[in-house]
Amino acid sequence: MSRIEPVMDREPLDATPRKRLTAAQKAEILDRQRDRCAGCKESLIWAVVDGKSVYGPMVDEHVIPLELGGSNDLSNRELRCVSCAKKKTRQDQKDIAHVRRMRLKDRGEFPEARQKLRGRGFPKRWEG
C-alpha cells in the first residue's frame, strides 16, 4: 500500500459513514483476494469441512481510510487477518493525525512548538 499524500488546496473532508459488508460483498472480496489476507498474503481459510471453507477471524479494512477521503466502494475494501488489520489501523491513525496537523498548520491554528524540557544535570545514578 502506498502512503497517502494529502491534497492541501481542498477543505477537510467529512468522513463518509462506514457501511458493513453484506455476505455477498464479503464473498466477492474473498474471491478477488483468492482467500488470502491483503497484508501478509496468508490464507484466511482455517479448515475445509464437508467441502465448505471455514474462515478464521478477519477484519474489513478500507484501503484509503474514510477520514482521508476513501469510500465504501468495494474497490476500496479489503479483508485482512487481525494482526495485519491492527498494523494498518495504527498506520492509518498516524496518517490521519499527520494530515490534521498539516491542515492546522496551513490555517495558522497549529500551536507554537514548546521549548523542550532539559534535565537539571543530576547524575542518572546517584552514588552517595
pLDDT at 62 over 60: yes
**Least reliable range by pLDDT among 13-17, 32-36, 70-74:** 13-17
Query: Which sequence spans correspond to the domains of the chain?
Result: 23-107
Taking the C-alpha atoms of residue 96 and residue 70, their distance in angstroms, rounded to an integer, is 12
Taking the C-alpha atoms of residue 30 and residue 74, their distance in angstroms, rounded to an integer, is 11
Pure H helices in the chain: 23-32, 82-107
Residue 57 confidence (pLDDT) = 94
pTM score over 0.95: no
The structural architecture, per CATH, of the domain 23-107 is 3-Layer(aba) Sandwich (3.40)
